[in-house]
Each structure stands twice: as structure tokens, then as C-alpha cells.
Amino acid sequence: MKTAIEFKNVSCGYHSTTVLDNINFQINEGEMIAVLGPNGAGKTTLFKALTGLLRPTTGIINIFSNPPHTLSAQKRSALIAVVPQELETPMAFNVEEIVMLGRTASLSRWATPNREDHRIVERCMVYTDIADLRDRPLSELSGGEKQRAIVAMALAQEPKIILLDEATSHLDMNHRFEVMQIAKRLNSEEGVTVLMCSHDLNLAAEFCDRFLLLDHGRVVANGSSSDVLTERILSDVYHCDVRVQQHVGSGSVTISPAHRLTPTRAGQGIRVHLVAGGGSGEELMRRLILAGYEVSCGVLNNGDSDTEIAHALGVKTTLEAPFSPISNEALQRSLEAASSADVIIVCDVPFGPGNVANLKIAEHAGRQKKPVLIAGSIEKRDYTHNKAASAISTKLLAAGARTWHGIPEVMKQLPQSK
Amino acid sequence: MKKSITPWLIVLSAPAILFACMLFGPSGYGLPGTDSGAFILRLNRVIAGFVVGAALACAGVVLQALLRNPLAEPYVLGVSSGAGLGAALAILTGLTAITAFALPLSAFIMAIATLALVCALARQGGRTSVYALVISGVIVSAVFSSLLMFLTSRAKEHELHTIIWWMLGNMGVNSVGVLRACSLIILLGIPLAWILARDLNALTLGKEMAHHLGVRTDIVVTLGLVVATLISAAAVSMTGLIGFVGLIVPHVMRKLVGPDHRRLIPLAAIGGGLFLAVCDAIARTIIKPEIIPVGVMTALVGGPFFIAILRARRKQGWIE
Amino acid sequence: MKQVISLFCLLLAGCSPRPVSDPGTGTPRVVSLAPSLTEIVCAVGGPEMLVGRTSACDYPIEILDRTPVVANFGTPSMEMILSVKPTLLLQASLADKSMGTQMESMGLKPHTILCKTLDDIPHAIREVGDCLGRSQKAAAIAEQLARQINEYRESAPPLSKQPTVFIELSDDPLITAGGGSFMSELVSVAGGRNLFDDADQDYFQVDAELVVARDPDVILYCQMKDSGKALERIKARAGWKDVKAVRSGRVYDHISDNLLTRPGPRIIEGIKQLRSCLQDTARE
């Protein structure tokens, strides 16, 4: 099986900003792949690099072993066709003329389209079921008809790869399926490699065999639906709680954002104390306040980014002077504040000799049999001399403390008011 | 193919209409004797009208497609103000006294220089967007127009008249050399534009989509701009500023024969040529012995014609 | 007592244009807003009376250095005019009305002197003379001018023998003068017939074809820039070489267009030069 698309250590961007950061992946001929990721993840840039609109700053892109910018325009258009989200032309081209535009690169400059061109256009119109619309101007068609006409135009290029660039975003449920079914047929019957990018994860899950998940210009996950479409990975990338359910009968996967299932004021009357610092508590503080929890935080150094957020949100905070180790006095005050808390959360903050004292708050709460939630593993961010933080953490976990990864997870572990 | 008869009608009627234009002149109706100077003069005038009209209409078609803007016309990138400035310079420096080529040549060179300036201003980071082009065109036009106004204010009385009358457009070409040179540029330029027809079709979908369809967009856009400017500069330098043809004829022809540039470019050229030749025939005979500036005629004749065509085929494309 | 008498004289003169003069020196300070009026002022009162002129005023030559420009092509600058402290402001009929009211509001009374036809010129000279207090000198100049014009008019050949004259004011586009224009009148007094005296417009664009078809005997080429080369240039134009004027070489471009277009005292020189050209043709 031939390699259709290959990205080797590709970085790419506009002017001075790098959007794609050292991307590596391979796509074989005949695959149907979805490129997923939140807004700004780099999907559009990846497509631009793939079609030769943008040259990578480092690394190599190969399309059937040719870098796109070395291909002649004509050859490139015979390899890759693009179906965009939307296509407008100010001229009153009719459907047949639009589909004929797919033949642009293969037409002679000197002659009108020949019999072969007409045959191909005819076939593409039949394939996408728009032959009846051939004399209608594109601008008069409905969204679904228009998009099918554009797919036909892309088909008329007779490409080996088709890129669906948000091609179904403007369509309703039924027309989405219509367009995707055409793509699937192309893929399975004609062996065309299909690469789609979409925000509609369910649609992608329904039609694609492989998924490439991008976030902040990097490939976060690459593989089958069970490798990529997991609650943990998706909730990390999309920063929201996600439910992934597999239909027992069909095996198809449904993905839905879950946070709307939890009541919004779930935290009313419940007190939470955070051990944070260096911005590790920012997002969690926001979420907790939004959910109605009563939040305290400490000890934080004055000037720390978490301090600013805490002030802005009205979180009760115990402060220490900037860049100073935590004093006994501050710790005492913080312990007092934490004593009324129902839950203690330790955020993803590194521990050193200066702030290891903060773990005493968790220890104290643990002794009182209050729930303690610790982010990730403290061993990996323990910078104290004798691994004091790790020791405390081990003790806490043995005493019943739990760990968490990602905000949706910790939110789920919190007690809720009735 | 229901549109197939209109193009042939236009092509076949062209010789008849041009011959009819030859029959109308201020010195009397009917063909002047071939041995008299009047015959040559009328022939040159009809040829100039046809060639200039063809150039303006063709340039309009190309620019409307490249800039994806229904208001684009041959002068949108500053050709008119550049040529006007060139003409004024030739008149004020007295170059016109040396050779009959001075004025057209100076206008032509300044028009091309203006396009170069507009493109240089619009280019950013190795790329040129059509919006930047249009805006630079507007800015350069404004600056050059004020320079032209300044020069006009410094002109002596007889120079002033020449500048103003030149701006109104004038189909009488004194020098056969100028007529030949400009016609040559135009008659080479129109086929060159026609070669780009399939790329222009794709470019109406936008530069990115055209790229995906296999068009070398940067080259085609540059080439298209240069050809359109070249032929409109040749037209302007020969007969001064004539409005309306380059804006309206492309729209009318698009309604009549469809938007495919393979058909549109040659037919717009023929249609624009016939339109201007007819307008000039009216302008030079209607209030003998005077001539109405042909730009007035193109607007008076073209306006109602345009509205009639738009009303008849309301539904398609631009200006719905 | 002397003052009383002069006051009395002033009162008497009240019904005709009053001489306006600088109370200090007694010399009027004149601003002229038309080249023809400038020439009349200098001929009647002398260049020293002129304190402001337009950029187009170029005769007599000495004013180029001594008299400041207060109006650039048709648009007088109020500030410049006030700065030369004029006692008299002369304008031709062309000046626009709003400018007149503005001048009046600034305390200047522009005096409009109509000068559109040949017969206007002697009247204009007399009027200027009255304003400058040089009525006698002006009357003498005017009388002589009127007599000379009349002599030319009477000595013109009969209409049937008059050569037809094409007045070419500009070649690209081709502009000529119609029947009502000053140039047309000038040609007729000089003994020719304007080829386009059937047109109402003063100046208009004309089709070369019509000029060639009407086949003028003489071409009067009024573009200073081409002095001496007109025949050659016209011959080079398509379709013009068989025109009578071109075949016989009767293309005249040596008469300065200031002599032909300016209704002032020098007009008689223009008529004289024109007559000698036209007589050449008439004799043939």
C-alpha cells in the first residue's frame, strides 16, 4: 500500500507565529481520516500546507512522494481536490459550468472542452445526483445541492486525495449525511483517500476509520476511535467534560459534551480549599465559583498569577510576601481557613522547600477524614531535598486521598449539594 | 445549449453594423468617395472606435473577474489618472510640439507606471490581495488626480483647453502611426487575455479555490492585470478618457452569453467595439457641425440599454 | 478755494464714471483681471498705473517684472488684491458673480467692462479712459481704432471672393471657433469667411472629416507652440493632404494668438497680419 500523505517534522506558520509545531504522521492510500481539534488547533494550517498554499518552515511534506510546492499546479490538482465549507462566485455560472471548472487544469488553453471532459463532468454529476440541476445557476441552489455540486467539481479533477474542509458545517443533518455518503462511496469504491476536518465529532466517528487529533499545533492522538475518541483525551483537548458512548448494536460512537448534564449550582453550601500556585489553580477556581462552591485558597505568594485570579473572583486567600518561603504564621492562618472546608484539592503545582509546607494543610485535613484530591502524581514535580513532598503524598494516598487528571474529572469527584 | 444563438448573432452582425457606422458622418450620409480624405478620416474613426471599445470592454471583463468586483472597470487601478497626468505633462512641457507621438506615448508610459506603483503598494509579504490592489488603486488615483489638478491650475489658457478636451475623450486620431501602434497593442492584448479565460473562470471562485483547481494564481493575476492595463492604457492614450464602456459592456455581455470567459472575452470585445463605434457615429452626426463628447453618448445610449437588459434577465448573478 | 473747485468738478462729473485716484499721489492704482483690459490700461494710462494683473497678462512686456500677479488663471486672490491697495478693480464680463459680491463686501467696487466684439473695443477704451481720468487720450486711441476697423471692414472683398478659413485652436482634439465668436468676427473683418460660421457655439470640437469635406482655402493655426511647423504637421495627418489650404501651402501659424484672441488695442495689428495672409489667397 502506497503512502498518500506524509508529514515529517513539519513546522509551519504565518510570519513569526508558528502554528504547526513539529508534526509527524502518515496516511496510506485509500484511508478515510478525520482531522479533529478545537478552534485554533492548526487544522486549517495543516490543510494549507498540504495543498501548497503555505510552505513549511522546517520539515518535509510528501504527497505521493512529492513535496506539494514542487508539484506543477496541474499535477497538484490531479492529486488533491478540496471541498471548502462554502463557495461563492459572483458570476451566474450554472451547475454544469461549475463542475466543468474542475477540469480547469486539464483543459487546453486553446480549445473548448472535448468529449472526454464532457464525459467526466457527466459522470461526476450523476455520481453526486445533480444531473437534473445542470442548467440552474449555482446561486439558486439550496445548501445541500450547492455542496453536492462542489463535490462534483472536486471529483471532476479526478484526484487521488479529497480534502473535505468543514465541507458539511453549513448543512442540516440529512444533507450532512448525503455529502458524507458520497465521500464514503468514493473512498470505498474508487479508492480515493479522503481527509476531512470537522467540528462534528459524531459525523467523523460515523464515517472515518482513523482520527488525527490536533491541539496547539501538535498531534495529540493518532489512531482508531478507541485510541483517540476517549473521554479523557477529548476532555483534555476540548477543556470540557465529554461523554463517549458506544452503541451496543452498531458499534458506532456518540460523543456529547457532558457538563450540561450536571446542575449548574451543584456546589452551593460546600466549601473547598485549594492548594495552588503559579497558575495551576486558575481554571479550577473559575469552574468552582461558577458551580457555586465556596472557595478558599492558600498559602499563595503575593503577586502569583493565582493570587490575581483569586482576588478577582473574591476567593478567600492567605498570602505570603512575594518570593518568600511560607512562614509558620501564614501557615497557621491558612490552616484555620481550611479547617472549615469540606474538601481539600491539591492542584498541579510543583513543590519545593518554599511551599512544601502547604501540604501540611492536606495532611491536617486527611487526619480529620476529609476528602483530599491530588492532581496527578506529586513525585514528578517534587523538588524538595529529601523528597519530603512525595513522602507526604504517599502517606495521604494511603490514608484514602484520591488523584485526578483534568478539570472535568475533579469536578465529578467533588461532593454536590442536594 | 440555449445560449448558442446569441454569440453567432453578435459575431455575424458585427461587419454589418461597422459598415453602417461608415455611412454616418458629419459631411453627409452614405459612403464618402474613396479618393477623398473624408473616406480615410471616417474609416480611421470607425476603426479607432471599434478597437478602443473592444479594449475597454475586454479590460473590464478581466478586471471584474480578477478583482471579483462588479464595479471594477478599466480605470479602477489608476490607469485614467496616470494617463491623464502623462498627457498633461506632455502638453505642459511642450513635447507635443515635437511629435504627434508625444502625448499618447507619455500617457501610455504614465499609465503603466501607475499600475506598477499600485501593485508595489499592494504587495505585502510577497503576496498581493485583491482588496489591497483596489485600495491602492483608489489612493494612487486620488493622489495623481490632485497632481493633475495642480498642473491644470498652472497651465496657460490654450494648454488648459487641450488638457480638458483630452479628458473628455476624442475619437479623432490625427496620426495613423498612433492608431496603428495602439491598435497593435490592443489586438495582441485581447487574445492574450483570452488565453487566460479558463483561469479567469476558476478565479471567480476566489484565489484559494483557483489554486486548488490547478491555476497558477500569482502568475495569472499579475498577467491579467498587466494585459488589462496595457490595452486600456493603449486605448486611453489614443482617444482620452471614455467612461461607461468598460463597466457596462461586460455586464451586458455576461447577461447575453453567460459568464464563461472563453466565450465572454471575444464577444465582449466585439460588443464593446460595436457599442463605441455606434455611439461615436451618433455623437458626430446628431448636432452637426459640432461633436458631442463621446463619453456623454456612451452613458446616454448605454444607460437605458443596460437597464433594459437587466430587467429582461433579472435573475442571474451580479446585480440581482 | 482750489479744493472747492475740484470738489465742484467732481460733482459735475458724477453722472459719468468717476476718475478714481489715490488721494496721496493722484494716480489711480488699477488691478486688471483680464489680459485685454491690462493692455487697454497700459495703452491709455501707462503701465505705472497698473498695480495688479493676472498670470495670463503678458503685454506690454515690462509689466511682467513690475506688476505683481493677483489672480491665477481666473481665480483672483482677495488677499493679494487687498495687499496692493487698489483704487480701481477692472474685470471683463466673465468674472463670476459671487466673487463680485465678495469683493464688494471687502470694500472694493469691481468695475465690469464688457468687451466681446470688435465694436466693443473702442467703447471699452473710452470707459477705461474715463475711469483713469485720461478721457481725452482714450478718446483719441478709440477713435483711431474704430476708424481703422471700419476701413478694414469696408475694404474687405465681396463675400463670393472671400477665402474660407478654418480656425484651428487645438489639434487633439480638433477645436474650432463658431459663428458668434470673436475670432470669427476678426476673420470676417480681415476679409475671410469662417468655415464654421454656421455653428452657434463659440468654441467646439469638430470632426476632421467635416473640415476636409468643406475643404477650406486657408487654415489659421492658432497654437503658438507650433510656429513654423504647422503645414508639415497637418500634411502628416491622415486624409488632410488634399485639402486646398494644404495643397497651396496656405497654412498660417505665424500670427501670435494673443493678437487674435485678445479684444484690446493691438487687435488692429492682428487684423492687419490676417488681411495680408487672406489677400494672398484672394489674389490666387
Q: Output the pLDDT for position A365.
A: 87
Strand order, beta sheet including A161-165:
A80-83, A161-165, A193-197, A32-36, A210-215, A218-223
Residue B68 touches chain A, beta carbons under 8 Å: yes
Q: Give the gap in angstroms from C-alpha A78 to the nearest C-alpha of chain B.
A: 8
With CA atoms as reference, the chain B residue closest to A84 would be B209
Q: Which of B197, B213, B262 sits opposite A102 (nearest CB)?
A: B213
Under the banding of pLDDT at 50, 70 and 90, the label for residue C75 is: confident
Q: In the predicted model, is pLDDT for residue A208 greater than 60?
A: yes
Cα–Cα dist A309/A286, whole Å: 8
Report yes or no: C90 and C113 within 8 Å, Cβ to Cβ.
yes
Residue B198 with chain A: CB contacts under 8 Å: 104, 107, 109
- Kindly state whether residue A266 falls inside one of the protein's structural domains: no
Q: Which residue of A has its CA nearest to B313?
A: A92
Chain B positions touching C204 (Cβ under 8 A) are 290-291
Pure H helices in chain B = 5-22, 37-66, 79-92, 102-122, 130-154, 157-167, 176-195, 197-203, 207-212, 217-239, 245-257, 261-285, 294-312
Task: Name the residue in chain B with its Cα closest to that of A85.
Answer: B209
Grid coordinates 506632455 are at which residue?
Answer: B90
Q: What is the count of residue pairs from B and C with beta carbons less than 8 Å apart? A: 123
Tell me the chain B residues in contact with residue C228 when contact means C-beta distances shorter than 8 Å: none
CA C172 to chain B, closest CA, distance in angstroms equals: 7
CATH number (domain holding residue A282): 3.40.50.720
Please tell me if residue B121 touches chain C, with a CB cutoff of 8 Å. no
Q: Is C209's CB within 8 Å of B97's CB?
A: no
pLDDT score at B175: 83
Question: B213 and A77 in contact by Cβ < 8 A?
Answer: yes
B202 shares contact with chain A (CB less than 8 Å): yes
| Predicted pLDDT of residue C280 | 65
Q: Inter-chain contact B289–C196, Cβ cutoff 8 Å?
A: yes
The dihedral formed by the CA atoms of C100, C104, C107 and C109, expressed in degrees to the nearest 10: 70
pTM of the model: 0.78
The sign one gets for the Cα dihedral A356, A358, A363, A366 is: negative
Q: Where are the alpha helices (DSSP H) in A248-399?
A: 282-290, 305-313, 328-339, 359-367, 388-398
Instruction: Evaluate whether C61 touches C35 at the Cβ level (below 8 Å).
Output: no
Which residues in chain B (198-237) have CB-CB distances under 8 A to chain C? Answer: none
Query: What distance lies between CA A333 and its chain's CA centroid?
Result: 42
- What separation in angstroms does the CA of A270 have from each of A158, A205, A361, A367, B166? 62, 39, 18, 19, 86
CB neighbours of residue C267 within 10 Å: 23
Answer for the pair A371, A403: CB distance below 8 angstroms, yes or no. no
Burial class from Cβ neighbours inside 10 Å (0-12, 13-18, 19+) for residue B320 reads exposed
Mean pLDDT, to the nearest integer, of C16-37?
A: 73
- Whether C237 and B174 lie within 8 Å, measured CB to CB: yes
The arithmetic mean of pLDDT across residues B91-104, rounded, is: 80
In a domain, A47, yes or no: yes
Same domain, A368 and A220: no
Could you say which residues from 277 to 306 on chain B have a Cβ atom under 8 Å away from some Cβ of chain C? Answer: 284, 288-291, 293
Highest mean pLDDT pick, A25-34, A286-295, C76-85, C248-257 = A25-34
Using pLDDT thresholds of 50, 70 and 90, give the confidence band for residue C3: very low
What confidence score (pLDDT) does residue C13 get? 39
Contact state of A87 with B254 under an 8 Å Cβ cutoff:
no
Beta bridge partners of A345: A274, A373
Q: Taking the domains of chain C in order of start, what are their residue ranges? A: 2-151, 159-283
Pick the CATH number of C159-283 from 1.20.1630.10, 3.40.50.1980, 1.10.3330.10, 3.40.50.720: 3.40.50.1980
Residues A95, A148, single domain; the answer is: yes
Judge: B316–A92 Cβ closer than 8 Å, yes or no.
yes
Share of chain B above pLDDT 70, in %: 94
Please answer yes or no on whether B27 and C224 come within 8 Å at the CB atom.
Answer: no
Average pLDDT, chain C: 83
Judgement on whether residues A278 and A228 belong to the same structural domain of the protein: no
Which set of grid coordinates corresponds to residue B92? 505642459
A260 Cβ neighbours under 8 A, 6+ residues apart = none
Q: In this model, does residue A261 exceed pLDDT 70?
A: no
pLDDT tops 90 at residue C174: no
Contact (CB<8Å) C170/B153 = no
- Over residues C262-284, the pLDDT tens digits come to 888 899 999 999 998 888 655 44
Predicted ipTM of the assembly: 0.84
- Give the distance from residue B246's alpha carbon to the nearest chain C alpha carbon, in angstroms: 22
Residue B214, φ and ψ in degrees, nearest 5? 95, 25
Of A53, A78, A137, the CB nearest to B316: A137
* Cα gap C123→C97, rounded to integer Å: 23
Q: Identify the band that residue B267 occupies on the pLDDT scale cut at 50, 70 and 90.
A: very high
Task: Output the nine-digit C-alpha cell for A153.
Answer: 467539481
- Average pLDDT estimate for B188-202: 94
* Pairwise CA distance, residues A31 & A316, whole Å: 54
In a domain, A344, yes or no: yes
Q: CA-CA distances (angstroms) from residue A205 to A91, A178, A186, A208, B74?
A: 37, 16, 18, 6, 51
Same domain, A332 and A186: no
Look up the CATH number of the domain holding residue A252.
3.40.50.300
Q: Based on C-alpha coordinates, what's the Rg of chain B?
A: 19
Whether residue A233 is found in the same domain as residue A280: no
Instruction: Please tell me whether residue C168 adopts helix, strand or coil conformation.
Output: strand
Residue B3 pLDDT > 60, yes or no? no
B49 touches chain C (CB under 8 A): no
State the chains in contact with B (3 or more Cβ–Cβ pairs under 8 Å): A, C
- pLDDT score of B310 more than 80: no
In a domain, A198, yes or no: yes
* B126-144 per-residue burial string, b: 16 or more CB within 10 A, e: under 16: eebebebbbebbeebbeeb
Q: Are residues A214 and A170 in the same domain?
A: yes
Residues 173-232 of A with CB under 8 A from B: none
pLDDT tens, A45-54? 999 999 999 8
CB-nearest to C212 from B41, B175, B288 is B41
- Compute the nearest-CA separation of B188 from chain C (Å): 24
Q: Domain containing A330: what range?
A: 271-413
Put simply, the answer to whether B215 touches A105 (Cβ < 8 Å) is yes
- Cβ <8 Å between C173 and B170: yes
Q: What percentage of chain C's residues is helix, strand, coil (to nearest 5)?
A: 45, 15, 35
Q: What is the mean pLDDT of residues C206-211?
A: 91
Interchain CB contact of B103 with C (< 8 Å): yes
Q: Answer whether B242's CB lies under 8 Å from B52's CB.
A: yes
Under the banding of pLDDT at 50, 70 and 90, the label for residue C16 is very low
| Gap from B192 CA to chain A (nearest CA, Å) | 11
pLDDT tens-digit series, residues A370-410: 899 999 888 888 998 888 899 999 999 988 889 998 888 88
| Whether A253 and A286 share a structural domain | no
- Kindly state whether residues A150 and A297 are assigned to the same domain: no
- pLDDT band for C137, please (50, 70, 90 cuts): very high
Same domain for A40 and A164, yes or no, is yes
Q: Assign C44 to helix, strand or coil.
A: helix
d(CA A243, CA A257): 6
CB contact under 8 A, A104 and B202: yes
Burial class (CB in 10 A: 0-12, 13-18, 19+), A1: exposed
Nearest CA in chain B to C168: B158
A263 within a domain of the structure (yes/no): no
Mean pLDDT of chain B: 87
> pLDDT higher for B126 or C240?
C240
**Beta carbons within 8 Å of A132's beta carbon, 6+ residues apart:** none
B313 contact C CB<8A: no
* A90 closest CB neighbour out of B125, B204, B258: B204
Taking the CA of residue B222 and the nearest CA in chain A, the distance in Å comes to 16
The pLDDT > 90 percentage for chain C reads 33
Mutation for testing the C interface, residue in B27, B92, B149, B167 having most C CBs under 10 Å: B27
Nearest CA-CA distance, residue C55 and chain B, Å: 9
- Asked which of A246-250, A393-397, C56-60, C95-99 is least confident by mean pLDDT, the reply is C95-99
Q: What are phi and psi of C101, to 5 degrees?
A: -65, -35
Q: Do chain B and chain C touch with ≥3 beta carbon pairs under 8 Å?
A: yes
Mutate which of B45, B158, B167 to disrupt the C interface (most C C-beta within 10 Å)?
B158
Write out pLDDT tens, residues A319-371.
888 888 898 899 998 888 888 899 999 999 999 988 888 998 988 888 888 89
In DSSP notation, C143-157 reads HHHHHHHHHHHHHSP
- A89-113 residue pLDDT tens: 888 899 999 999 999 988 877 778 8
**pLDDT of amino acid C259:** 86
| More confident position, B25 or A163 | A163
**By the CB < 8 Å criterion, does B240 face chain C?**
yes
Question: Does A264 fall in a domain?
Answer: no
Contact (CB<8Å) C239/B175: no
Q: Which of residues 210-249 of B touch A (CB under 8 A)?
A: 210-216
Quote the pLDDT of residue A366: 86
pLDDT at C1: 41
The fold adopted by the segment(s) C2-151 is: Rossmann fold (3.40.50)
pLDDT tens per residue across span C179-192:
888 999 999 999 99
Query: Does A331 lie in the same domain as A280?
Result: yes
pLDDT tops 60 at residue B185? yes
Band of pLDDT at residue C22, cut at 50, 70 and 90? low
Mean pLDDT, residues B112-135 taken together: 85
Of all residues in chain C, the percent with pLDDT exceeding 70 is: 85
Are both A251 and A296 inside the same structural domain? no
Q: How many alpha carbons lie under 13 Å from residue C220 in its C-beta half-sphere? A: 34
Is A70's Cβ below 8 Å from some Cβ in B? no
Q: How many domains does chain A have?
A: 2
Domains C2-151 and C159-283 share a fold: yes
**Could you tell me where the beta strands, DSSP code E, fall in C113-191?**
164-168, 170-171, 174-177
What mean pLDDT do residues A162-180 have?
Answer: 89
The mean pLDDT value for A17-23 works out to 89
> Given an 8 Å threshold on Cβ–Cβ distance, is A73 in contact with B317?
no
Q: Is the pLDDT of residue B124 over 90?
A: no
Give the model confidence (pLDDT) of C213-238 as tens digits.
999 999 998 876 656 788 888 888 88
- Interface residue B314 vs chain A (CB under 8 A): no
pLDDT at residue C224, as a whole number: 62
Q: Collapse the DSSP code of B120 into the 3-class scheme (helix H, G, I; strand E, B; otherwise coil) and give the result.
A: helix
**Is residue C42's pLDDT more than 50?**
yes
Q: How confident is the model at residue C73 (pLDDT cuts 50, 70, 90)?
A: low
Confidence label for B243 from pLDDT (cuts 50, 70 and 90): confident
Q: Does A140 sit within 8 Å of B211, measured CB to CB?
A: no
Chain C nearest CA to B281, separation (Å): 11
